[in-house]
Amino acid sequence: MNQKNIKFVLIFIIILILGVSLYYFSKPLDTRLLEVNFIVGGISGIGVGSNDSLNYGIVMPGNSVTKKVKIGNNFDFPVEVTFLATKNIQPFIFSDSKVLIPPGESKLISFTLELPKNMSYGDYSGEIKLDFRKE
């Protein structure tokens, strides 16, 4: 092998190692999905959810409702949790973009549903993805 080929192979190996490292360190430790459901209607009604869902019930156009979800950190180190709603509900769901949770602790995270006044009646659903990364 000549020097030119050796340099090319070394550069390729370095780029490969950097790429694998970047992928590994950007990958979440854990990902959880939070189901979201709401009905847009002419009257308001209460929705009952579980630990893995946000059920806002019936919400009138132009109104907003806030629900809280308890999110725990089962790791031995602090984690940063980021939230991303699916595109169909993203314009209506608001929360902190990320939250830091110490090891062994939990936090109540507020998710607010805000509907525009011209929102069409109907059933809506989607998911919020929670990514847990080492802080």
pLDDT in tens, 121-131: 999 999 999 99
**Mean confidence (pLDDT) of the chain:** 87
Q: How would CATH label the architecture of 29-134?
A: Sandwich (2.60)
Dump pLDDT digits (tens) for 28-41: 888 999 999 999 99
Positive or negative, the CA dihedral 67, 131, 126, 63 is positive
User: How high is the pLDDT of residue 117?
Assistant: 95
What residues have CB less than 8 Å from 61, skipping those under 6 apart? Answer: 40, 115, 116, 117, 118, 119, 121
Separation between Cα atoms, residue 96 and residue 68, nearest integer Å: 12
Residue-level pLDDT at 126: 96
pLDDT at 49 over 60: no
Q: Are 103 and 78 in contact (CB under 8 A)?
A: yes
DSSP secondary structure, 66-127, as one string:
EEEEEEE--SSS-EEEEEEE-TTTTTTEE--SEEEE-TT-EEEEEEEEE--TTPPPEEEEEE
